[in-house]
Amino acid sequence: MKDIALMGHIVAGFPSFTQSLDSAIGIALGGAKYLEVQFPFSDPNADGIAIANACEIALKNGFNTDFGFRFITELQEKLKAHNCHTKLLIMTYGNILFCYGIREFLLKAKEVGVYGLIVPDFSLQNDENLFKYSKKLGLENIALIAPFTTPKRMRALNKASGEILYVVARNGITGDTTTINQNLLDYIALVKENCTKPIALGFGIQNKEQIQSLRGIVPIAVVGSAFVRHITELCQSTQDSKTITESLRTFTQNLLGE
C-alpha cells in the first residue's frame, strides 16, 4: 500500500489556548506529518461554518498575532519533548501579515521554527513580496491551485511555491464533503502534467475512505473542518488535557487507517 501523508488543522486559541494546544499535540502524535495552525481572522473567506465559528470564538477569547506566535512556541516545545517532528505551517489571511508587517511576520515565523505558510488571499501578482521574502528566509510559502487555474498559471505557481503545492479539490469553501470522482482525478492529472512539486489535496477531505482512495494519487491529504468539528464536540464534554490529546491522537490514527 502506497503511503500518504496527512496535513491536519487547528485554529489557534479555539476553544481555548490550552485546548487548542492539547488538540494540536494529539494530531501530531497521531501521525500527521504536517499541521496547519490557523491564525484566526474576522473574515475568513475560504472557510466554511465550522472553521469560521472557531475563528470567531478564538478572536472573542482575545487572539492576536503575538498570541499565535506564543502558541507555536509552546507547541514546538511540547512536540520536542515528545520527540515528534510534525512540520508546522501558519495558515492565515493577508490582512494579518499586512497589519503586522510582512517582513516582521516572516522573521517571527522563522524565529518560532515554522516550516512554512499558507496565505490563500495573496495572489502571485500581488503578494507583497511574500514569496520572495519567504524564500530568502528559508520558509516554504505554499501556493494554491484551484479547479479553474489555467495550465500556464499552474506552471507559474509551481515555480514560485515552496516545496509543496496546495491543490484545492473543488470550488467553494471548506467543510462540504468532496467526492473522489473522475472529474477530480482528471483535474489532479492536469496539475501533475504541469507541476513538478508534491501535491497536498484539500477542501472536503473528511474521512478514512477518502484518504484511502487517494493513496498513490496524491502524496498529501489535507483534513481541516473534520478536525475542527471533532475538537468542537470533544471540548464541549471535557477540558481534561490528557483526554483531549488522546482523542485527537486516535481520531488522526483512524483517518490514516492505523
- Which residues are designated catalytic? 36, 47
SS (H, E, C) 65-77: HHHHHHHHHHHHH
What is the gyration radius of the CA atoms in the chain, in angstroms? 17
Q: What does the alpha-carbon distance between residue 154 and residue 174 come to, in Å, rounded to a whole number?
A: 21
Q: How far out from the chain centre does Cα 214 lie?
A: 18
Identity at 162, one-letter amino acid code: G
- Taking CA atoms, 104 is separated from 30, 44, 100, 133, 134, in Å, by 33, 22, 7, 10, 11
Any idea how long the chain is? Answer: 258
- Which of 123, 163, 167, 165 has its CA nearest to residue 140? 163
Phi, psi of 211 (to 5 degrees): -65, -40
- Which of 9, 70, 17 has its CA nearest to residue 239? 17
Q: How far out from the chain centre does Cα 150 lie?
A: 24
Question: What interhelical angle do 65-81 and 102-111 show, nearest 10?
Answer: 20
